[in-house]
Amino acid sequence: MTSLDKQQLLTLCHRPDTLFELFDEIDSTNRWLQTAPGTDIQFCIAESQSQGKGQQGRQWHSPPGQNIYLSCRWPFPKSQDLSGLSLAVSLAVLDVVQPCMPLTPIRIKWPNDIFCMDKKLGGILIELTAAPDTIHAIIGIGINVNMLPGKNVQIDQPWISLQEITKREWDRHILCAGLMNLLPECLNCFEHQGFSAFMKKWQAVDYLSDKAVKIQRGRELFYGTAEGVDPLGRLIIKNNNTLMKFVSGEASIVK
């Protein structure tokens, strides 16, 4: 198990001015960036998190030295529609991870679950904080890299790691630096062109496409067939010739 090294990460970053903090242990990289000084684009990486946050108020299992826990703070204009942001970010994560296993396709389960072999390989949690003229998006990315099943790993949904898929250990430096190199490109594109610029790419990796699905939104449940997303990244569901669009919710395939 190799620990993350700040100097090695810097060497792999394309932009020498990439601003990031690396912690051995922290409560949550998202939480740290929410209160971090400054307003610049900044990354936070940790070897472990004591209170890693997942979607829907869940905890994100964050043991030391095995996985990636990385957050990025990005300022958007107040007027920006951010509904497709998590989809665009998940495509950037896919671009960084897919080259590790070119023959095993990664899919994205709307809105932002990174799926491989029908199990969760990673997830994204975006939290927003308002500043005077901007909205700061705190984009948190968790990727299961070298974690293997064991009695200390209690995760309440089917999951998989890069090591489990490829049967080899991965150097997290390359993946972390890959994210720090690619995310600015992705976020710049999203800021200037919106989600519509990512539509084509999304269609190629959409896990739910044409599947019978169930969407849970709060206490409400909706059923139908997933028909892709619209140019704002909203999930389209068809039920008895009626189309419904979802900005948020938890989707699952109905078997």
Give the binding site for ligand BTN (CB under 6 A): 28-30, 49, 52-55, 58, 60, 69-71, 113, 123-125, 140-142
Q: How far apart are CA 4 and CA 24, in angstroms?
A: 9
Tell me how far, at minimum, the Cβ of 120 lies from ligand BTN, in Å: 7
Q: Which is nearer to ligand BTN, 179 or 227 (CB)?
A: 179
**Of 46, 55, 13, 40, the residue nearest 27 (C-alpha):** 46
Least distance in angstroms from the C-beta of 79 to ligand BTN: 26
* Residue among 125 and 226 whose Cβ is closer to ligand BTN: 125
Q: Which residues of 68-82 are buried (b: 16+ CB within 10 A; e: fewer)?
A: bbbbbbbbbeeebeb
In the sheet that 235-239 helps form, which strands lie side by side, from edge to edge? 242-246, 235-239, 220-229, 212-217, 250-253
Comparison of 133 and 156: residue with beta carbon closer to ligand BTN = 156
What element of type H or E holds 43?
A: strand 42-49
Min dist. Cβ of residue 138 to ligand BTN (A): 8
Nearer to ligand BTN, 109 or 234 (CB): 109
Least distance to ligand BTN, CB of residue 186, Å: 17
Instruction: Name the residue nearer to ligand BTN (CB basis): 141 or 237.
Output: 141
- What SS3 state is found at 165? helix
Residue sitting closest to ligand BTN (CB): 123
Residues in the chain: 255
| Least gap, CB of 251 to ligand BTN (angstroms) | 12
Which residue, 4 or 227, is less far from ligand BTN as judged by CB?
Answer: 4
Pairing mode, if any, of strands 250-253 and 220-229? unpaired
d(CA 66, CA 144) in angstroms, rounded, equals 8
Minimum CB–partner distance for residue 113 and ligand BTN (Å)? 6
Distance from C-alpha of 233 to C-alpha of 240, rounded to nearest angstrom: 22
CB count within 10 Å of CB 84 equals 24
Give every CB contact of residue 134 below 8 A, 6+ residues apart in sequence.
Answer: 39, 75, 76, 77, 78
Question: In the complex, what is the shortest distance from the CB of residue 60 to ligand BTN, in angstroms, rounded to a whole number?
Answer: 4
Q: Which is nearer to ligand BTN, 30 or 194 (CB)?
A: 30
| Enclosing H/E stretch for 140 | strand 134-143
